[in-house]
Amino acid sequence: MTKGRIFSGMQPSGKFHLGNYMGALENWVKLQHEYECFFSIVDWHALTSSYEDTSKIPERIHEMALDWLSAGLDPEKNVIFVQSHVKEHAELHLLLSMMTPLSWLERVPTYKDKLQQLGTQGKDINTYGFLGYPELMTADIILYKADTIPVGEDQLPHLELSREIVRRFNNLYQPIFPEPKPSLSKSAILPGIDGRKMSKSYGNEIPFAASPDELRARIRLMITDPNRVKRTDLGNPDVCTVYTFHKIFNAEHSSEISQSCRQATIGCVDCKKCLAEKMVSNLADIHIRRQELEKNPGRVKEILVFGSERARTVAAKTMDEVRQAMNL
Ligand code: ADP
Ligand code: NA
């Protein structure tokens, strides 16, 4: 049986955090053993919501490559590349934009939501590129004839639109492209240190790049049961963010922790220390790989050049077929 082919991308928007890792990257690391994977740092996509200041783009691309490689993505096994290094994405995006009715783009729910949200911030974001985001995403996917797309629930409408665009292309010209199917990843939302969803817009994140000491410092700031003031007060783990983290990162001891909290045989300080040491140990391999890579930025650059070359070979072949099908 031939392996399915995956395409997935992430915007290099900076400050990659543990929630981002748990939400997608951790899953990619598993998928790399089961599929042929194309993983792209989608820098053009990042421009759709933030185009004014582009000075940090190179640094953010480098950081994201470090995040991916330290997480354990294998640059030999997977094609790891930067979107803007493969210009075929732009050509296919243009051609798809010619055949996609505007109404299809305008009805995407995230478009309307985001427009409203950003409108209130006084940002002029209603650009052509912002509306056309799903068009570029479709080009990303089908350039590699990917058939399996790992997505969260919120991205399903985008992928449905991609499938419509693919059907239209295949009907109008030649049936070149497989319809990309979603592979729904049911990862839980990781809370931040204040208990709300971990998000860079809340400032409650634990950076994925955190060193052991930074990790410990962030955990010390975590919100616990607000009614447990004194060390002798009985705690309620159900309202404690530290306990939520124990359930995720220290599952085998979480019932013990829960009991000790309720009986006040462990205090919040020690409970945090215990969590911190467990997380430091869980993330040790990732930390070691990052340190190695940070010593060798040239190696990271090489990996991206190598990946872009491999991506371009596949993309160029697809574009030959597309041009032929469209008589261009
Ligand atoms: P942020 O909220 O920090 O701006 P993004 O919206 O850029 O994060 O999210 C990028 C990706 O990371 C998405 O796939 C999203 O589902 C995932 N993600 C973000 N925050 C979390 C979280 N707290 N828990 C799990 N996944 C998350
Ligand atoms: Na967000």
pLDDT tens digits, residue range 107-129?
988 788 877 777 666 666 778 99
Sheet holding 148-151, edge to edge: 79-82, 36-41, 5-10, 148-151, 181-184
Is residue 166 one of the residues assigned to a domain? yes
Which residues, other chains included, contact 161 with Cβ-Cβ below 8 Å and sequence gap of 6+? 104, 105, 108, 134, 138
With beta carbons less than 8 A apart as the criterion, state whether 26 and 187 touch: yes
Residue 282 in marked binding region: no
Q: Which two structure tokens, joined as six digits, stand for 194?
A: 């204040």
Question: Does residue 207 form part of some domain?
Answer: no
| Binding site membership of 15 for ligand 1 (Cβ less than 6 Å) | no
Determine the Cα–Cα distance for residues 151 and 76; give it in Å rounded to an integer.
24
pLDDT band at residue 188 using 50, 70 and 90 as cut-offs: confident
For ligand 1, atom 19, name the residue with the nearest CA: 20
Identify which has the larger pLDDT, 3 or 151. Answer: 151
- Residues of the chain by 3-state class (helix, strand, coil), percent to 5: 55, 10, 35
From 114, 126, 124, 110, select the one nearest 52 (Cα to Cα): 124
Ligand closest in space to the Cα of 19: 1
Q: Does residue 180 sit in the same domain as residue 225?
A: no
- This prediction has a pTM of 0.94
In tens, the pLDDT along 248-263 reads 999 999 999 999 999 9
The answer, yes or no, to whether any atom of ligand 1 lies below 6 A from the CB of 152, is yes
SS3 of residue 32 by DSSP: coil
Provide the residue range defining the domain that includes 230.
212-285
Cα of 26 vs centre of ligand 1, distance in Å, is 13
Q: Which residues contact 57 (CB under 8 A, 6 or more apart)?
A: 12, 43, 46
- Does residue 18 surpass a pLDDT of 80? yes
Q: Which tokens sit at 17?
A: 């955090």
In a domain, 203, yes or no: no
Q: List, as one string, the DSSP characters of 247-293.
A: HHH-GGGHHHHHHHHHTTSS-HHHHHHHHHHHHHHHTHHHHHHHHHH
In a domain, 125, yes or no: yes
**Can you give the CATH number for the domain in which 78 is found?**
3.40.50.620
CA distance 168 to 164: 6
One domain, residues 176 and 228: no
Q: Do 166 and 78 belong to one domain?
A: yes
pLDDT band for position 221 (cuts 50, 70, 90): very high
Residue to mutate, 8, 11, 20, ligand 1, most ligand atoms under 8 Å from C-beta: 20
Q: Does residue 134 share a domain with residue 278?
A: no
Asked whether residue 318 is assigned to any structural domain, the reply reads: yes
Residue 292 lies in a domain: no
- 10 Å CB burial of residue 304 (0-12, 13-18, 19+) is buried
Counted domains in the chain: 2
State the Cα–Cα distance between residues 322 and 328, nearest whole angstrom.
8
Do 185 and 263 share a structural domain? no
Average pLDDT over residues 274-286: 98
Query: What is the ipTM score, two decimals?
Result: 0.93
CA 162 and chain centroid, separation: 19
Let me know whether 164 and 22 are in one domain.
yes
pLDDT at 49: 76
Gap from CA of 189 to ligand 1 centroid (Å): 8
Q: Residue 237's domain is classified under what CATH number?
A: 1.10.240.10
Ligand 1 near 198 CB (within 6 A): yes
Cα distance between residue 30 and residue 73, in whole Å = 9
Question: For residue 227, how far is its CA from the centre of ligand 1 (angstroms)?
Answer: 30
Residue 243 DSSP symbol? H
Q: Are residues 279 and 310 in the same domain?
A: no
